[in-house]
Amino acid sequence: MKTFEEIAVFGCKATTLFLLENLDIRYPVRHLITIPPEAGQKHGVADYLDLKAAAEQRGIQVYQARYYSLKHPDDQAYIQSLNLDLAFAIGWQRLIPEEVLSGLNVGAFGMHGSSMNLPLGRGRSPMNWSIIEGRQVFYTNLFRYDPGVDSGDVVDTFKFQITQRDTAATMHFKNTLAMKYLIERNIENLVHHSFALHPQNTTITPTYYPKRSPEDGLLDWTQDVHALERFIRAVTRPFDGAFTFVNDQALYIWDAQVFDLHDFGYEKWETGTVVAVFESGQFLVKCFGGLLLINAYEAGFPIQKGMRLGNNGQPAKYFERNPLGFFDVEES
């Protein structure tokens, strides 16, 4: 029987490093396919991490791809030369082309999840969208890559909770732990090619979340206090953050909470107005439905009572919604 030796990881983020350092399996990861810092900057990869030194210290051979898409002939030729048995993609926010997939003896396996489970909620930023939508559970799937968008057959699934304190960062922590657990639970079946594949439900029309960009973090103070609080949690670090303006000066908000649904005498103040500033530097904003306490923020100016928060003439982006009011929509 062939010795199972060639396992690779595709990734370029802090979550990739966590997997490399914490994955508890008896088959060593021998190769890392990643991208260099200039490519991470060019593609705006949130939470990008240059993994070369850390991987090499662990005896892992590192290849920095010329193209993030892996469509360059040099990238494909190199990966094919490795004669890989198995690959895991974590922190790799791109499709893997058929030219690469076809060279793997078992396959490439990645994770994708949504609050409704596949095939609902394919596409971009499902964890961020789940917080924005106020969802309470998230399904992470270990699936085998095919050339489509999150359309591969599923090996195993893990469900975890979305709490009222979860942020973009903690959702990534949970999702990474789910991926680690799913790999460890299925590794023996994968390496012995004795795993079962479960096609996604073909009776359901797939839906897709849209891509989010840094400029989409502009706060819309016409939303109610709960929607604003969820939005701030959804786009905080490691992403670019929620932001607003005081006149033409930007204010980035990293952490906030619903302070109270009572207005404490500020009923007549306009929404989006700073109504109180505390000695700690935290401040309250009048919103529809209550008061929002801003706990952590960045501004190049002191926050003062009476400041009006706005958009400096920049329109907030409104994404298409499905008939249920959520943001995953069918392909047009």
> Do 135 and 99 belong to one domain?
no
Which tokens go with 62?
Answer: 């590192």
Rounded to an integer, the average pLDDT of 258-287 is: 97
Going by pLDDT thresholds of 50, 70 and 90, the confidence category of residue 93 is: confident
Domain count, the chain: 3
Q: What is the DSSP secondary structure assignment for residue 217, as one 8-state letter?
A: G
Rounded to an integer, the average pLDDT of 263-276 is: 97
Rounded to an integer, the average pLDDT of 161-184 is: 97
CATH code for the domain in which residue 126 is found: 3.40.50.170
**pTM, 2 dp:** 0.94
In the prediction, which pLDDT does 63 show?
98
> Do 295 and 272 belong to one domain?
yes
> Do 238 and 284 belong to one domain?
yes
Q: State phi, psi for 229 to the nearest 5 degrees.
A: -65, -45
Q: Is the pLDDT of residue 2 over 60?
A: no
Boundary residue ending a domain (73, 105, 137): 105
> Do 277 and 234 belong to one domain?
yes
Q: For the range 175-178, what are the long-range contacts, defined as Cβ-Cβ under 8 Å and sequence gap of 24 or more? A: 175/15, 175/111, 175/113, 175/127, 175/138, 175/140, 176/15, 176/18, 176/19, 176/90, 178/111, 178/113, 178/140
In the prediction, which pLDDT does 3 show?
54
Q: Which helix (H) or strand (E) holds 300?
A: none
Please, which residues have CB within 8 angstroms of residue 280's CB and are 6 or more apart in sequence?
A: none
- Residues 222 and 257: their CA atoms lie apart, in Å, by 17
Q: What percent of the chain has pLDDT over 90?
A: 94
Q: Is the pLDDT of residue 4 over 70?
A: no
Asked if residue 39 lies in contact with residue 46, where contact means CB atoms within 8 angstroms, the answer is no
Quote the domain boundaries for residue 126.
Answer: 110-212
Rounded to an integer, the average pLDDT of 179-204 is: 95
Boundary residue ending a domain (212, 241, 275): 212
Is there a domain that residue 244 lies in? yes
> Do 32 and 117 belong to one domain?
no
Asked if residue 56 lies in contact with residue 50, where contact means CB atoms within 8 angstroms, the answer is no
Is there a domain that residue 312 lies in? no
Asked if residue 218 lies in contact with residue 318, where contact means CB atoms within 8 angstroms, the answer is no
Boundary residue ending a domain (212, 231, 256): 212
Coil vs helix vs strand at 141? strand
Rounded to an integer, the average pLDDT of 86-90 is: 96
Residue type, position 284, single letter: L
Rounded to an integer, the average pLDDT of 19-37 is: 96
HEC profile of 218-245: ECCCCCEHHHHHHHHHHHCCCCCCEEEE
- Residues 311 and 272: their CA atoms lie apart, in Å, by 10
Rounded to an integer, the average pLDDT of 45-50 is: 92
Is there a domain that residue 329 lies in? no
Rounded to an integer, the average pLDDT of 172-199 is: 95
Q: Pick from 42, 45, 44: which is nearest to 11 by CA?
A: 45
